[in-house]
Structures are given as C-alpha cells and as structure tokens.
Structure 1
Amino acid sequence: MGSPIQDKSNQVQFLKQRLNMFLDVLEAIEPEETDIDDIDRLIEMIDDIESKCREFNHRDM
C-alpha cells in the first residue's frame, strides 16, 4: 500500500474518487439480475468509504 494521505485536499479527492466508483458500479447493476452477492459488494464499498472518512477525521486531530 501507499503512504497515508495527510493533506485534506487529497483526502477529499480520494473520497470523491471512491464515491464515483461506487456510483459507476451502482449504475451498471441490472435490477432484474442483481443477487445478494452484488448487494453485499455495494454494502462493502460503502463500509470502506465510511471507514476512510473516520480514518481521515482521526488524522486531523
């Protein structure tokens, strides 16, 4: 893995990229063909983004 992102601007950019990836995946899903594994993956992506937000908030302290 790379070094931790310390700069606030880079942290925001990182989170924007992650959210855009999530939106891309969400838009690509066909509702009729979605199964529980797809839903689990979406939840995992949101959990990862939330975890990064908490991590970035703790770095600012």
Structure 2
Amino acid sequence: MGKSVQDKASQLQYLTNRFQILSQVVEAIDSTDAEAEDLDRLLQMMKDLEGKVERFKKDWEAEG
C-alpha cells in the first residue's frame, strides 16, 4: 500500500478494491458473536476510504 496512486484509472481501481474489501468484511461479520469493536473497525475503514476519496477529489480538481 505504500505505492502512490496518481492517475484517475488507478485511483478508481484502488477505490473499487477497497470497497470490495469493506464489503467482504461486512459479510464476514457473524451476527451471533459480533461486538461493538467490529463496528468500530468498519467505521475506521469507512473513514480511511473517505480520506482517500477526498484526496483523489483534490487531485482531480487540480488537474482541472
């Protein structure tokens, strides 16, 4: 994950991959033994994704 994602196609692919991972994590949560920490983990993943989307948006705006 240390590699910079700079062009639009790569950025969209990055987001697609991250959303797929998020979806898999949600699907893997077992409702019978889920805990608040599981939701905290999901929230953190969503916040991280939001940060990336904001970053990519700034990149796209700078490109004009």
Same-fold call, TM cutoff 0.5: yes
The separation in 1 between residues aligned to 2:16 and 2:31, in whole angstroms, is 25
Q: Please name the residue that 1:32 is paired with.
A: 32
The separation in 1 between residues aligned to 2:21 and 2:14, in whole angstroms, is 11
1:27 aligned partner, one-letter code: E
TM-score (norm 1): 0.91
CA RMSD, Structure 1 to Structure 2 (Å): 0.8
Q: Please name the residue that 1:54 is paired with.
A: 54
Asked which structure has the greater RCO (Cα within 8 Å, sep 6+), the reply is: 1
The separation in 2 between residues aligned to 1:44 and 1:32, in whole angstroms, is 22
Percent identity over paired residues: 33
The separation in 1 between residues aligned to 2:38 and 2:25, in whole angstroms, is 10
Count matched residues. 60
Q: Please name the residue that 1:5 is paired with.
A: 5
TM-score (norm 2): 0.87
Structure 1: 4+ residue segments shifted above 3 A: none
2:33 aligned partner, one-letter code: E
